[in-house]
């Protein structure tokens, strides 16, 4: 006669926990531009979907640690990408203003 499965054996891995972690890591590593921003947003969306699944029935899922780490890294990647994008925009505006100012003085 087969033994009944324990609760640990019946638990399943969150489907996108590994993907969220990989996207979070890549968003931080490539955080200097649009790529990090886009990967961070994708990782955050994926991790939000799985977090909702986990919150509904936490007793049947494992891998919340990886999911949470991916979520945090995605947020960091979004912030880094946003700061770099903001810096680029500010440099272009200041640079463009400086060029028109210097052009008036025949530099």
The pLDDT tens digits of the residues spanning 56-104 come to: 999 999 999 999 999 999 999 999 999 999 998 888 888 888 777 777 7
Q: Evaluate whether residue 44 is within a structural domain.
A: yes
Are 46 and 16 within 8 A, CB to CB?
A: yes
**Residue 7: inside a domain, yes or no?**
no
| Comparison of pLDDT for 5 and 72, the residue scoring more | 72
Domain range for 44 is 16-104
38 located within any domain? yes
| Total of domains in the chain | 1
Question: Which residues, including other chains, have CB under 8 Å from residue 64's CB and lie 6 or more apart?
Answer: 14, 17, 54, 58
Judge whether 6 lies within some domain. Answer: no
In a domain, 77, yes or no: yes
- In a domain, residue 45? The reply is yes
105 pLDDT above the threshold of 90: no
Residue 99 falls within a domain, yes or no?
Answer: yes
Residue 100 lies in a domain: yes
Q: How many C-beta atoms surround the C-beta of residue 41 within 10 A?
A: 16
């Amino acid at each position: 006669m087969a033994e009944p499965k324990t609760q640990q054996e019946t638990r399943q891995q969150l489907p996108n926990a590994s993907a969220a972690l990989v996207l979070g890591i890549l968003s931080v590593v490539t955080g200097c531009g649009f790529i990090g921003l886009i990967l961070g947003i994708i990782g955050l969306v994926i991790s939000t979907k799985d977090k909702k699944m986990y919150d509904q029935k936490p007793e049947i899922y494992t891998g919340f640690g990886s999911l949470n780490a991916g979520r945090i890294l995605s947020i960091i990647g979004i912030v880094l990408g946003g700061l770099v994008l903001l810096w680029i925009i500010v440099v272009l505006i200041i640079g463009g203003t400086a060029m028109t100012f210097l052009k008036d003085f025949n530099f």
